[in-house]
């Protein structure tokens, strides 16, 4: 039996699930909620996919890892380099790294930020945010995926995303079904102490379509997938989670346009031309229709480059810029010319659409601040500062549900994304590194149960560090002394 199953639906929110339950459309979610403790879970700031999953599985705040977006942006003088965050930025700090040190076996399937794969006790398979090649540990698993689960077809589907909307939605559904088949077949064939599995919906769908009927279809698929998981995997504890929620917004704030007007930032020549073209199209066919085609055209034009900020700005003429992979109400803000940091942040504070600016202290790389706006912040080219556009955006309210042995039924409990790792370690009977930001959610456990009576045990972060067996023993002894047990 799997001791802990952590099942994630990227972008899932109770705000969409509960109304569909009321219409009797999601029977599996309905039954599971009645048998579980569940509530809203506050995501990371910003609520972005890679930092949120990594914070969930490390218990660390994005500031502790300088990870606030999909992209790692390093500024050296006037040189700006960016790439997608990968496992080299977080490995060693994640919960399955700790389980490996305790010889507990994990399956990690489709968790963002786990590419390139690296040795753990068990199996690691990265799919989203990877080239879908050399994406497994051990290496030979890739052959199994190719022959038994048509990884080649998944690679083709990946290419179709961002092209034609109808095909993309079909490709998303096919990809989810394949991941589900990999999960059921691996859990049948191997035994794991912990399984970490993430499905990309509804996040993927929200970035492809604004249509409510597509979102409804996506939730019905989620419900049948959940049914299959519950029927095929025996577990002691199930944690059902998302990394952030989603919600529809009607206005977008183009913060880099404001910086451009103040002379702090200058888009590349190509993007300036796009901004003019967009404005022209807006006046002919309307903003909403323009956005539908514009996103695809921009994506096609910027193939392979769209995530790289250095291709979007005239670097020599930009003292600062905001950048995030998708719009949310929060956006990382980077100052290239550090001598002007206070001046530029001071100017931003005067903008009526900016609610708050949180300074960030990342020494090596990362943003200087996180901007919070009353509208979702887009970093795409625009000649308007604010524009009326409907879109799904990431929301701070993720989902949390826990079901299983000694777990209270039909209870409500809101929590934070940082609470997942300490709680999972506690239910597995393992100590919690004191560097973790969250807490053990003891309220989920029945008052009379043995596990509820057991106090969480905290240890220094070196406890799980590789190659420090001696230090680990010393730390344990030290901790037991502190607790007065020896």
Least Å distance between CB 10 and Zn ion? 4
User: x-or-dash pattern for Zn ion, window 11-40, by CB under 5 A?
Assistant: x-----------------------------
Q: At what angle do helices 27-34 and 14-22 cross, to 10 degrees?
A: 100
Q: Write down the least CB distance from residue 4 to Zn ion, Å.
A: 21
Residues sharing a CB contact under 8 Å with residue 109, sequence separation 6 or more, in sequence order: 123, 125, 127, 179, 182, 183, 186, 195, 196, 197, 198
Question: Of 11 and 381, which CB lies nearer to Zn ion in the complex structure?
Answer: 11
Q: Which is nearer to Zn ion, 186 or 400 (CB)?
A: 400
Angular region, 266: left φ>0, alpha ψ -120 to 50, beta rest? beta
Task: Give me the residue label for tokens 């299983």.
Answer: 404
The distance of closest approach from Cβ of residue 181 to Zn ion in the complex, given in angstroms and rounded to an integer, is 22
Residues in contact with Zn ion, shown as a per-residue x/- string from 223 to 262 under the rule CB under 5 A:
--------------------x-------------------
Q: Give the Cα separation of 425 and 440 in Å (integer).
A: 9
Q: Which of residues 395 and 419 has its CB atom nearest to Zn ion in the complex?
A: 395
In residues, how long is the chain? 486
Secondary structure element (H or E) that encloses residue 262, with its range: none
Give the shortest CB-272-to-Zn ion separation in angstroms: 31
11 or 122: CB nearest Zn ion: 11
Question: Using CB under 5 A, which of the segments 10-18, 82-90, 131-139, 316-324 binds Zn ion?
Answer: 10-18
Of 10 and 69, CB closest to Zn ion: 10
- Report the nearest approach of Zn ion to the CB of residue 50 (Å): 8
CB of 419 to Zn ion, least distance (A): 18
Site string for Zn ion, 186-225 (x = CB under 5 A): -----------------x----------------------
* Nearest to Zn ion of 171, 445 (CB atom): 171
What DSSP element (H or E) covers 278?
A: helix 269-285
Rounded distance between C-alpha atoms, residue 234 and residue 3, angstroms: 8
Tell the burial category of 404 from Cβ atoms under 10 Å away from its Cβ (0-12, 13-18, 19+). Answer: middle
Residue nearest to Zn ion (CB): 49
Q: Which of 6, 8, 10, 33 binds Zn ion (CB under 5 A)?
A: 10
| 3-class DSSP assignment, residue 226 | helix
| Residue-wise DSSP of 346-362 | HHHHT-TTEEEEEE---
Q: What is the phi/psi pair of residue 375, to 5°? A: -120, 160
Nearer to Zn ion by Cβ, of 70 and 145: the residue is 70
Contacts of 155 (CB under 8 A, 6+ apart): 132, 133
Smallest separation, CB 244 to Zn ion (Å) = 5
Pick out residues in 40-59 that bind Zn ion (CB under 5 A): 49
CB of 112 to Zn ion, least distance (A): 8
3-state secondary structure of 402: strand
- For Zn ion (CB under 5 A), the number of binding residues is 5
Distance CA(307)–CA(253), nearest Å, equals 19
Which residues would be at the binding site for Zn ion (CB under 5 A)? 10-11, 49, 203, 243
């Amino acid at each position: 039996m799997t001791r802990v199953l952590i099942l994630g639906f990227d972008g899932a929110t109770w705000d969409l699930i509960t109304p569909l339950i009321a219409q009797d459309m999601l029977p599996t979610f309905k039954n599971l909620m009645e048998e579980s403790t569940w509530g809203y879970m506050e995501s990371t700031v910003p609520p972005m996919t890679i930092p949120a999953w990594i914070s969930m599985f490390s218990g660390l705040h994005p500031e502790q890892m300088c990870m606030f977006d999909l992209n790692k942006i390093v500024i050296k003088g006037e040189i700006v380099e960016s790439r997608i965050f990968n496992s080299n930025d977080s490995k060693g700090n994640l919960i399955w790294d700790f389980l490996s040190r305790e010889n507990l076996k994990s399956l990690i399937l489709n968790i963002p930020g786990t590419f390139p794969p690296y040795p753990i006790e068990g199996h690691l398979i990265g799919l989203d945010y990877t080239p879908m090649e050399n994406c497994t540990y051990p290496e030979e698993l890739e052959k199994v995926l190719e022959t038994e689960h048509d990884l080649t077809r998944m690679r083709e589907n990946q290419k179709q995303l961002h092209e034609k909307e109808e095909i993309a939605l079909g490709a998303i559904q096919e990809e989810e079904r394949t991941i589900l088949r990999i999960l059921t077949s691996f859990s049948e064939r191997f035994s794991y102490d912990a399984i970490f599995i993430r499905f990309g919906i509804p996040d993927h769908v929200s970035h492809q379509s604004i249509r409510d009927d597509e979102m409804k279809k996506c939730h019905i698929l989620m419900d049948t997938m959940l049914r299959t998981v519950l029927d095929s995997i025996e577990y002691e504890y199930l944690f059902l989670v998302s990394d952030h929620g989603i919600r529809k917004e009607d206005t977008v704030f183009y913060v880099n346009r404001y910086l451009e007007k103040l002379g702090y930032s200058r888009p590349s020549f190509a993007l300036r031309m796009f901004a003019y073209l967009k404005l022209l199209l807006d006046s002919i066919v309307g903003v909403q229709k323009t956005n539908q085609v514009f996103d695809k055209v921009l994506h096609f034009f910027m193939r392979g480059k769209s995530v790289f900020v250095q291709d979007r700005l005239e670097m020599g003429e930009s003292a600062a810029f905001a950048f995030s992979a998708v719009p949310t109400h929060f956006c990382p803000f980077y100052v290239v010319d550090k001598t002007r940091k206070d001046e530029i942040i001071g100017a931003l504070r005067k903008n009526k659409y900016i609610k708050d600016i949180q300074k960030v202290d990342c020494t090596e790389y990362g943003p200087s601040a996180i901007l919070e706006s009353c509208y979702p912040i887009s970093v795409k080219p625009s000649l308007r500062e604010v524009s009326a556009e409907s879109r799904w955006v990431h929301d701070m309210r993720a989902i949390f549900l826990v079901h299983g042995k000694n777990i209270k039924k039909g209870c409500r409990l809101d929590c934070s994304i940082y609470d997942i790792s300490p709680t999972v370690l506690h239910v597995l009977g393992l100590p919690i590194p004191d560097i973790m930001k969250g807490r053990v959610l003891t309220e989920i456990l029945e008052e009379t149960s043995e596990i509820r009576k057991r106090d969480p045990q905290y240890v220094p972060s070196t406890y799980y560090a590789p190659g420090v067996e001696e230090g680990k023993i010393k730390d344990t002894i030290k901790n037991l002394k502190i607790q007065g047990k020896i």
